[in-house]
Amino acid sequence: MTAANPLSQLRPGASPAEAESFAEARMRLAVSGVTPPRLPMRRVLGLSAAVLVVETAVMLVTGQSLHDVLLPGYLILMTTFGLVFCLGAVTVAGFAAGAAGAGLVVLQPGALLPLLGGAAVLALGCGFAPGWARVEAWQAAHSRPLTAEEEAAVGQRALDGGRSRGWSPGVRLRNYWRTDRVLAAFLVLAFHPLLAAFALWFTHWSAGR
């Protein structure tokens, strides 16, 4: 017979302090050993640069305009960094993807709505992506909580994800989902294109007054 895990459930009538301590202990048990995803950023950047150089060279040789050269360049950058942001949970990549999106809007103002749609899809991806959950679990194990409730929630979710089942593809996606993360990711991805669109609109509007 296996002895009951003392962390399997909180005893009835536990004090709030005990409940907090219990949640923290469960969280630490669940996330110990979890590491954040490590993307080979040098390779990613090198590959992106190589593709950009080839694309630019081909477009220039074939006599395309600067506008036509820049458009796919921005698209490549936006897609690459958007995926790195979404899958690798690298925050700064969101900055780069957003900036590339702004470039696209400047070149092609009509691209705003499709871009926002793409940003929404990527943000939804961030809601499910295991990489984000791993970063959060790692962070939770390496820093003190802002609030006990928040940390307890992270710990509970991480535990439900199950260390026994590992961070494998088989883990139920709902364990990774965070709505606030999706909203935050969308803001990061969409902010620059929106800012660029507003700047263009304002310039156009004031010139026409």
Partner 1 sequence: MLVEQGALTREQLQEALDQHRRVGAPLGAVVLARGMVTRRQLYVALAEVWGADLAFVDPVEVDEELARRFPAAMLARETWVPLRVEEDGDGLPQVVVATAGRPSAHIAEEVVQRTGIPRVRQVVTTDWDVQRALRTVWRDELVHDAVKSLAERRPEESASTVFVWPQVAAAIGLLVATVTGLVLDFSLTMVVLVATVNVAVALAVGTKALISTVGTAWETVEQVTAAEVAALEDADLPVYTILVPVYKEAGIVGLLMRNLADLDYPREKLEILLLLEEDDPETLTAALAAAPPDLVRIVVVPHSLPKTKPRACNVGLTFARGEYVVIYDAEDRPDADQLKKALIAFRKGGDDLVCVQAALNYFNARENLLTRMFTLEYSSWFDYTLAGLDKMRLPIPLGGTSNHFRTDMLRDLGGWDPYNVTEDADLGIRASAQGHRVAVVNSTTYEEANMAVGNWIRQRSRWIKGYMQTVLVHTRHPWRLLRSVGPRQTAGFALLIGGTPLMFLAAPWLYALFVVQLVWPGALVPVLPEWLVHVSLANLLLGNGVIIYLSLLAGFKRRTYGLVPFALFSPVYWLLHSIASYKALWQLVVNPFYWEKTDHGLSSHVQVDESAGLEEPPAAPVAAAPVRTSAPDPVQPAADVVRLIDPATVPPPPVRRAPEEDQP
Q: What is the CA radius of gyration of the chain?
A: 22
Alpha carbons 71 and 57: distance in angstroms, whole number: 14
Contact string (CB under 8 A) for partner 1, positions 37-76, x = contact: ----------------------------------------
C-beta of 19: minimal distance to partner 1 in Å? 18
Q: Which amino acid is at 155?
A: G
Q: Taking contact as CB under 8 A, which single stretch among the options 47-55, 75-83, 107-115, 145-153 is the one that binds partner 1?
A: 145-153
Alpha carbons 117 and 82: distance in angstroms, whole number: 13
In the set 66, 174, 183, 204, which binds partner 1 (CB under 8 A)? 183
The verdict on 181 binding partner 1 (CB under 8 A) reads: yes
Q: How far is CA 188 from the centre of its chain?
A: 9
Q: Which is nearer to partner 1, 39 or 107 (CB)?
A: 39
In the set 147, 164, 168, 170, which binds partner 1 (CB under 8 A)? 147
Per-residue DSSP letter, 110: G
The verdict on 187 binding partner 1 (CB under 8 A) reads: yes
The verdict on 123 binding partner 1 (CB under 8 A) reads: no
Q: Which is nearer to partner 1, 147 or 164 (CB)?
A: 147
In the set 62, 144, 169, 170, which binds partner 1 (CB under 8 A)? 144
The verdict on 195 binding partner 1 (CB under 8 A) reads: yes
Q: Where are the alpha helices (DSSP H) in the chain?
A: 16-31, 41-61, 66-88, 91-107, 112-128, 130-142, 148-161, 179-207
Q: Where are the alpha helices (DSSP H) in 108-178?
A: 112-128, 130-142, 148-161
User: Site size for partner 1, by CB under 8 A?
Assistant: 34
What burial class does residue 101 get, using C-beta atoms within 10 Å of its C-beta: 0-12 exposed, 13-18 middle, 19+ buried?
buried
C-beta of 52: minimal distance to partner 1 in Å? 20
In the set 45, 51, 108, 138, which binds partner 1 (CB under 8 A)? 138
How many CB atoms neighbour CB 107 within 10 A? 17
What burial class does residue 196 get, using C-beta atoms within 10 Å of its C-beta: 0-12 exposed, 13-18 middle, 19+ buried?
buried
Footprint of partner 1 (CB under 8 A)? 36, 91-92, 94-95, 98, 135-136, 138-140, 142-144, 146-147, 150, 154, 178, 180-181, 183-184, 187-188, 191-192, 195, 198-199, 202-203, 206, 209
